[in-house]
Amino acid sequence: MAIITDINQLDLNKKYSYADYLSWQFSERVELIKGWIYKMSPAPRRLHQRVSVKLTFEFMKYFENRKCQVYEAPFDVRLKKNKGKDKEIDTVVQPDISVFSDLSKLDDRGGIGAPDLVVEITSDSTMKKDYNEKFNVYEENEVREYWIVNPDAQTMEIFILNNARLESSAIFNVKEGTTQVNSVIFPGLMVDLNGLFKD
């Protein structure tokens, strides 16, 4: 397979596989969702990164002595219900934070299969993808808990897998007085929203 060194060499109206993805050696970050290429921002905004660092720190403290592993972007997560060959995998995403309790889903290239918990830190430019395309593949692959964090609005929405559907469990809003958020599937994993969004 030919090595691709410039994203402009790709036909964005064509579907690709993870095998194709491995041959791309350009600087732009992309995700592959059901075969379609989605360009990512060259570098997230400062507030996005600050929230990501704070959340990762809280997660690392909580999971330190537990048999789970936490990863932050950039970290490839290949999503396919049944592990397949590289050419059979058509979705590779880079969640802002992902938590795996099944360590057999990890290899040297990243994650293969659904994390237990995924966090996406959204913005105006990524909100549609986070609530639609990514939501759908997380649901199809049975991610158990999905957090969408909006630093601009100072909100967090938590979705829980129920009967193979991700359902909104709660929406937390600092401006309405919510200060504490707890994970549903990991009791004791708590985030203080005031501290999370404080700049």
Mean pLDDT in consecutive groups of 10 residues from the start of the chain, 199 residues: 89 94 92 94 84 96 95 94 79 97 96 97 92 97 97 95 96 87 95 91
* Predicted local distance difference test score (pLDDT) of residue 191: 95
Q: Which of 116, 98, 99, 194 is nearest to 155 (CA)?
A: 194
Beta bridge partners of 72: 97
Report domain extents, the chain.
Answer: 43-197
- Domain 43-197 CATH (choose: 3.90.1570.10, 3.90.950.20, 3.30.450.70, 3.40.50.970): 3.90.1570.10
Q: What is the pLDDT, as a whole number, of residue 35? A: 95
Give the model's pLDDT for residue 82. 57
- pLDDT of 83 reads 63
Phi, psi dihedral angles at 179 (to 5 degrees): -120, -25
pLDDT at 81: 62
Q: What pLDDT score was predicted for residue 91?
A: 96
Give Rg (Cα) of the chain.
17
Residue 179: what pLDDT? 82
- CB atoms < 10 A from the CB of 31, how many? 22
Q: What distance in Å separates the CA atoms of residue 93 and residue 138, rounded to the nearest whole number?
A: 10
